[in-house]
Amino acid sequence: AMADYQDLYVARLDDAVVDRRTEHVEVRGGATVEVVCLLTRHGPVVSDPTEDGIGLALASTGFDAPAGSLAAVVPQLLARTVDELDDALAAWVEPVNNFVLADTHGDIAYRTAGRVPVRAEVNSWLPVPGWDATHDWTGYVPDESLPRTKNPSAGAVVTANQRITTADHPHLLGVHPYGPNRATRIWARLDAAQPIDDGGMAAVHLDASSPLAARMAAMAPDVFGDWDGRMLA
C-alpha cells in the first residue's frame, strides 16, 4: 500500500540508549564477528555511531507490536465471505498491504490492512530528532479509517501501488506512492477486454505497454527512435 510504518530517529546515544548487549556472529570460513547492539526507546540503533555519539534508531510497527503471523493468517484462510475476510485482516500488522477480496456470493472488495502509526508528516520524509517528543508516535490509524471499498460501481478493483487516498483523507498513510500509470493502463485494458472472459483477462496480464515509456519516447525521438513504449525483451 506504499504506507510509511518505519521511522528513523536521530539519537544522542549517551542519553538515548536503554539497553546494550554484545552478540557474536559466526562466519563460515572466517573469524567470529562481535557486534554491539544498542536499543533506544524508539528502537534499535541501525547505524555506526559517530565520533560525537550520534546514531540512527529505527522505529517500526514490527518492533512495536507482534505481527501475529499465523494467528492473523489462519482466520483469513478460513474466511468464506468478503466480510469475514475483511474482519480477519483487522489483526494484520505489517507489511501494510493492498488486499483484493472476492467470494463465491459475487461480492468484491478492496481494503488496506496493517498498522500505520500516527505522527508528524515530517517523519515520513527525513530522520527526526529522537529527543523531541513532538515526533513520537501517538497511536495507530484505526482499522476502520483505512481505505476500503466494497462492490464499487465500476464493477472491478484495480490496485497497482498507486495513491489510495485523496487529499481530504484524515490520516497520512505515506508520501511515496507509485504514479497512476500502471493503474490507468490496467483500467484501459479492462475496458478493452469486455466482456471479461479468460482470453480478455490473459490479455490484461500479458500486456507489455507502458504509457509512461511511450510519453518519454515521444519527447526524445532522437534517443528512442520509433519505440512505442512496449516493454518487450
Q: Give 196's pLDDT tier (boundaries 50, 70, 90).
A: confident
Give Cα separations from 10 to 14, 75, 113, 176 (angstroms): 12, 39, 29, 21
| Model pLDDT, residue 194 | 72
Q: How many of the other CB atoms lie within 10 Å of CB of 110?
A: 19
| Model pLDDT, residue 97 | 93
Report pLDDT digits (tens) over 73-119: 899 999 999 999 999 999 899 899 999 999 999 999 999 999 999 99
Bridge partners (DSSP) of residue 20 are 38
Higher pLDDT, residue 42 or 193: 42
Cα separation, 139 vs 162, in Å, equals 25
| Model pLDDT, residue 29 | 97
**Angle ∠(226,229,230) on CA atoms, nearest 5:** 110
Over residues 116-143, the mean pLDDT reads: 95
Cα separation, 57 vs 44, in Å, equals 5
User: What's the mean per-residue pLDDT of the chain?
Assistant: 92
Cα separation, 33 vs 22, in Å, equals 10
Q: Give 197's pLDDT tier (boundaries 50, 70, 90).
A: confident
Cα separation, 216 vs 223, in Å, equals 10
Rg (the chain; Cα; Å): 23
